[in-house]
Amino acid sequence: MELPNHKTGSAPYWMLALGIVCLIAGSYVGLFRAPAEAYMGQVQRIMYVHVPTAWNALLAMTFAFACAVVFLFKADFKWDARLEAAIEVGVLLAFLLCCQGAIWAKPTWGVWWDWDPRLTTTAVLLFAFLGILALRKFVDDPARRAMWSSVATIIAYADVPIVYYSVRWWNSLHQQQSSPSTVSSQFYFPLRANAFGVLFLMTGFIMIRARIATLRLRTELAAPPVLRGDEAGEMA
Amino acid sequence: MSAVPAESAVEVEGVSRRYGRRWALADVSFRVPAASVLMIAGRNGAGKSTLLRVLATAIRPDRGRVRVGGFDAVREREDVRKRTALLSHHNYLYESLTARENLVVVADHLRASRDSIDGILAEVGLAARAHDLVSTFSAGMRKRLSFARILLQQPRVVLLDEPYGALDPAGFDLVDAFIRAFRERGATVLFATHQLERSAKLADASLVLEDGRVVA
Amino acid sequence: MIAALRKELLLQWRSRAQFLAVFVFGAASLLLFSFAVGPNARALRTFSAGFLWLGLLLSSTLTLAESFHAEMENRALEGLLLLPSDPRALYYGKAIANWLQLTLLGFALVPVMVVLYDAGTLELARLAVIIALGAAGLSAPGTLYAAMTSQVKAKQTLLPLLLFPLIVPALLASVKATSLAILGDPMAQSRSWMALLAAFDLIYWSLCGLLYGRVVEE
């Protein structure tokens, strides 16, 4: 069995810096330069963080799913570290997404929670992935933990479209998906800038978190003492 | 690497296995010729059970290579499983089934005939209790039933983890007889035990484990 | 697979007292749900389908976990795998047995629902199909997750934590379809909910069968 490599290097920190710059620029334009939206007014400005968070949350979960599939076939612990990182960052983004959705729903529809298919799917996904994080805490054997979280991730991810369509049928009275094509050009820049900002932040966090997971895995998977070299030699 | 003699039933090369942060087996290597009996000795926690479980493919080695009957224990697991049977300290029995029903389950999963079951139950001395639930059995009777399970499997390589544990003196003789019978049929037997004097007479070779390493 | 199924049914028959206890648990939870709503006959009738499925869902965590008790106390499952047996056959044997048990439990809870909530229906055949489909949706991922959680310390917490978010679509479709059967279905929507349930079942019965080997084998 090969130990996952521990990488050092400043790439993730550059990612974080770039993400913060993008977010500042996008948020500044979104909050102070872009005009207020005709129907929804100032409230609509939450879209500049909400939509980028949504895209990236889904992206993080999709990356977690990809890691799970690769681990299932390759059994390389590098992918387990990435899975752990992607799920944790994805859970954080999904949680933020639910909060933003509630904040947006209150002035718009007058209730904190609305059974919108996207918001509901996010909440279901949040709980599903929290369950996987809990499972990881209770399994000590790294091989078993990695395999089980791969399996659970694949099963949970397969649920996403089913949850989405079932909730949409169940509660079919909602506005269309927001994407740049349905938004007028004045809103482009802040949305795009923030989308890349969150993307860079997320990538940086996932990279750093995967390094931490790798370090832990390296101690868990370390070679037996005798294979590491002769003890007398080390003492000399 | 030199050519492997065909008559080696079990080959273990550089096998290590971890439980959590502890190494239960560290760089273990040995070979067992076919139709011979190997005794594995060592204190509690020396790695005997782990070694037998690796050979039975119940757990994977973290490092190293295991071949049973020429088949790789990781890549050709099915083939290894068809040839091995493990008497584990988990007895693999269903408590809420009777002795006979437990063997029927095994025979059905092996797609083997159920005809031999009653004979085997008599052989291990459980004919009278065949229709009692395992939950009413003593430790020694469970051990006998586990032996019956192995007889049903007709393995080429028999892995016995403390076969004498919990048995009465008559049971001791029974185990001796089984090991001899397995060897006469051409099967290879590896067994871990603390009954050193008794077993030395049965075994062709022996292996001593200490802290997961082979020391003799 | 026949061998595995026969073993499961025999084990379930031996623990039939357990089934009775779970039924009483389910019936008791149906009784408690009505206290949450209050003595409002109309509301109770409206929510009856939801209560029935929640009762079944809560009971299922008990039966699913129990179905692995016999496998784990002496590691009998490992014993079968080493024979060798195909893990897929073992999975389908157990999942089918769990499905039969949950379906039976669902049937048994219907009269309780009818009596407590005045939620009768004459479309018994359709109700039976819905319960069978919904129970299948619970038992396929439930069997897989129970196999995992039966091997860890916090099994009682972990199984519902993993299972509940996953079966949201199955629960939703079952409740909707049952509700339409009880309250009337003027727009003929129940067929599409049953189709959704069937699709959920199909996906998870195949996916979990494929992945079970990875869960029970080391």
The residue in chain B having the minimum alpha-carbon distance to the alpha carbon of residue C85 is B109
Contact C11 B94 (CB under 8 A): yes
Contact A155 C144 (CB under 8 A): yes
pLDDT for B19 equals 83
Which residues in chain C have their CB less than 8 angstroms from residue B96's CB? 11, 14-15, 70
Which residues in chain C have their CB less than 8 angstroms from residue A148's CB? 148, 215
Residue from the list B78, B81, B96 with its beta carbon closest to the beta carbon of C11: B96
Interface predicted TM-score of the whole assembly (ipTM), two decimals: 0.91
Tell me the pLDDT band of C56, cut-offs 50, 70 and 90: very high
The residue in chain A having the minimum alpha-carbon distance to the alpha carbon of residue C141 is A155
Domain ranges, ordered by start, for chain A: 11-173+184-221
Per-residue pLDDT at A183 exceeds 80: no
Strands B8-19 and B63-68: antiparallel
How confident is the prediction for chain C on average, in pLDDT? 93
Minimal CA–CA distance to B110: which of C5, C217, C82?
C82
DSSP state of B5: P
Which residues in chain C have their CB less than 8 angstroms from residue A169's CB? 192-193, 196
pLDDT for C121 equals 85
User: pLDDT tens digits for C5-28?
Assistant: 999 999 999 999 999 999 999 999
Residue from the list C158, C166, C172 with its beta carbon closest to the beta carbon of A135: C158
pLDDT for C37 equals 86
pLDDT for A173 equals 43
Task: Please give the tally of structural domains in chain C.
Answer: 1
Minimal CA–CA distance to A91: which of A123, A139, A69, A46?
A123
Per-residue pLDDT at C170 exceeds 70: yes
Cα-to-chain-centroid distance, residue C173: 14
User: pLDDT tens digits for C66-92?
Assistant: 999 999 999 999 999 999 999 999 999
Per-residue pLDDT at C31 exceeds 50: yes
Interfacial A residues in 121-140 facing B (CB < 8 Å) = 140
Instruction: Tell me which CATH code domain A11-173+184-221 carries.
Output: 1.20.120
Q: Which two tokens stand for residue C59?
A: 């009971």
List, in order, residues 6 or more apart from A200 with CB less than 8 Å away: A15, A16, A18, A19, A22
Which residues in chain C have their CB less than 8 angstroms from residue B77's CB? 84
More confident residue, B66 or C188: B66
**Domain assignment of residue C53, given as a range:** 2-217
How confident is the prediction for chain B on average, in pLDDT? 92
SS3 of chain A: helix, strand, coil, percent, to 5: 80, 0, 20
pLDDT for A180 equals 46
User: pLDDT tens digits for B36-68?
Assistant: 999 999 999 899 999 999 999 999 998 999 999
Q: What is the mean pLDDT of residues A170-196?
A: 67
User: pLDDT tens digits for B12-30?
Assistant: 999 999 887 788 999 999 9
Among A5-9, A25-29, A199-203, B36-40, the minimum mean pLDDT is found in A5-9
Does the beta carbon of B27 lie under 8 angstroms from any beta carbon of chain A? yes
Q: What is the mean pLDDT of residues C186-201?
A: 90
| Beta carbon pairs, A and C, within 8 Å | 84
Cα atoms found within 13 Å of the Cα of residue C76, Cβ hemisphere only: 24
Does the beta carbon of C82 lie under 8 angstroms from any beta carbon of chain B? yes
Tell me the pLDDT band of B8, cut-offs 50, 70 and 90: confident
Distance (Å) from the alpha carbon of B57 to chain C's nearest alpha carbon: 7
pTM, two decimal places? 0.90
